A and B are shown apart, each in its own frame.
Chain A
Amino acid sequence: MEMLPPLAKGLVTSINIFLLTLLCACPLGMVIAFGRMNRHLVINGPIRLFISVMRGTPLMLQLLVVYFGPYYIFRVSLAGYPPFLAVIIAFSINYAVYFAEIYRAGIQSIPVGQYEAATVLGYSKLQTFFKIILPQVIKRILPPMTNETITLVKDTSLAQVIAVAEMFTIAKRLANAQSSVLALAVAGLFYYIFNFIVAMVMEKCEKCLDYYR
């Protein structure tokens, strides 16, 4: 029982990582998606390379680069650079890249006739995107976004590599101190409940958009 308070504290940190990452990655992904879809090679070229690198290397490595990079690569020592901030930066960029590809798939799956009908009716480009295209995109991308969101919950445990005291870090510490895997099992249960709630919320969102096809 005495393991619950520290685990709960760790869980709060995990939830913070999760929420802040979502908050940053969702809009950032939109920016990357539009860069990727830009027809000028000077814009879409670098973005493609960036996406390729971010998807092709481990998130754990990216986390280390973001945290230790300033010092070991650029010899800049940032006094008081909190590991938590490094986690948010690394996670946000990594997830934004995945979100961007999901957005792109969603946007490109909307039939060109929708744009044409909107154009003929006089909608501006912004109106067309926000009123006609985006609502349909959101409906289509919800299932893959649920996948990514659930993966993000589990990925928060990677923050342990730069000693952020999230739930997994604490569970491991407790397990070592008590020579028992009980703390890890409880942490596992917490992750499962967390994801169960995430999946439920996302399913609810899908249901809300069920009124049209």
Chain B
Amino acid sequence: MSVLEIKNLQKTFGTLTVLKDISMTVERGEVVSIIGPSGSGKSTLLRCATLLERIDHGGLRYSNVQVAEDDKTGKCVYLPNNQLRKVKSMFGLVFQNFNLFPHYSILKNIIDAPICVQKRPKEEVVAEAMKLLDKMGLESKADAYPYQLSGGQQQRVSIARALINNPDILFFDEPTSALDPELTSEILKVIRELAMEHMTMVIVTHEIEFARKVSDRVVFMADGVIVEEGPADEVILHPKQQRTQMFLSKIIAER
């Protein structure tokens, strides 16, 4: 069974339809990159999948949990709130701006939600968090505060925070856009390592070359629709649609 299934998703802000009939599935162990121009709706799609935005129509399913679907009258119905909280432990989201909690230490940033929300035993969570910090090369920073870390380090902490509940799938919303070029590579390295461990990931990114190398599949979005999708090399090196060609040639020309 696929980890994530989005079916005929529609999202409107006021009179502006941002996502028009998007369908997409992500299989276990798959790495999918979503690329496209600004305003194409790729971030909104991620926000809908991570329940930060409510979809207007369509279906959203994580593994065997149908999170939202249209009822007979065509109205989109979500699971009740207490069940949605459980769903939230099935995925993790890494933000562009990290969004660490500044008043919590690095360790507390990672362990607080599992302990207070998922009610997991503290010792187990702390041990796991330390393992994750070790993996991110940040074991010495457990007691530091976010402001004491570089952008790249903060982003690695936020990846650890997203991984602590052993999610089935990890979302990245432009994870390197707020970083200096030299710090970008350390994040890309972490993502590449996760890919080698067969972590299921959906990455919204502007790093086309990285998307090609790390992902199994690339989805190109423009104006709220999926224009083209397929194996990474195929979409990026040999795009079939004119809209995709235009976008990619513009990006390559800028280099």
Partners in one complex: yes
Inter-chain CB contacts under 8 Å: number: 56
Chain A nearest CB from B142 CB (Å) reads 15
Per-position 1/0 for A111-140, Cβ under 8 A of B: 101101111111110010001100110010
Contact (Cβ within 8 A) B161 A121: yes
* Given A131-B116, A213-B147: A119 in contact with B161 (beta carbons within 8 A): no
CB closest residue in chain B, given A138: B103
Which of A114, A122, A124 contacts B101, CB < 8 Å? A114
Contact of A211 with B by CB under 8 A: yes
B117 pairs with A127, CB closer than 8 A: yes
Known: A120-B52, A121-B88, A121-B161. A113 touches B113 (CB 8 A): no
Tell me if A74 is interfacial: C-beta within 8 Å of chain B. Answer: no
B103 touches A139 (CB 8 A): yes
Known pairs A131-B116, A212-B145; A122 contacts B89 (CB<8 A): yes
Question: In the bound complex, how far is the Cα of B98 from the Cα of A114, in angstroms?
Answer: 10
Contact string against B for A residues 18-32, beta-carbon threshold 8 Å, 1 for contact and 0 otherwise: 000000000000000
Q: Which of A116, A120, A124 has the largest number of chain B CB atoms within 10 A?
A: A120
Nearest-neighbour CB distance to chain A for B232, whole angstroms, equals 27
User: Bound state CA distance, A213 and B117, in angstroms?
Assistant: 25
CB proximity of B169 to chain A, nearest CB, Å = 13
Q: Which residues of A contact B113 (CB under 8 A)?
A: 121-123
Q: How large is the interface on B (under 10, 10 to 19, 20 to 34, 35 or more residues)?
A: 20 to 34
CB nearest neighbor in A for B101: A132
Does B245 sit at the interface, judged by CB under 8 A?
A: no
Give the chain B neighbours of A212 by CB distance below 8 A.
Answer: 102-103, 145-147
The answer to whether B89 touches A120, judged by C-beta atoms less than 8 angstroms apart, is: no
**Option from A111, A122, A132 in Cβ contact (under 8 Å) with B118:** A122
Shortest A134–chain B CB gap in Å is: 10
Residue B95 interfacial (CB < 8 Å): yes
Contact A122 B85, CB 8 Å, known A114-B101, A127-B117, A131-B112: yes
Specify which chain B residues have a CB less than 8 angstroms from the CB of A135 in the assembled complex.
Answer: 103
Residues B99 and A113 in contact, CB atoms below 8 Å apart:
yes
A to B CB contacts below 8 Å, 9 in the list: A114-B101, A118-B101, A120-B51, A120-B52, A121-B113, A123-B113, A136-B102, A213-B102, A213-B147
Query: What is B's interface to A at a CB cutoff of 8 Å?
Result: 50-52, 85, 88-89, 92-93, 95, 97, 99-103, 112-113, 116-118, 145-147, 161
Q: Name 4 extra pairs, CB < 8 A, besides A136-B103, A213-B147.
A: A117-B95, A123-B117, A132-B101, A212-B147
The 6 closest A-B pairs by CB, nearest first: A117-B99, A121-B113, A113-B99, A122-B88, A213-B147, A122-B117
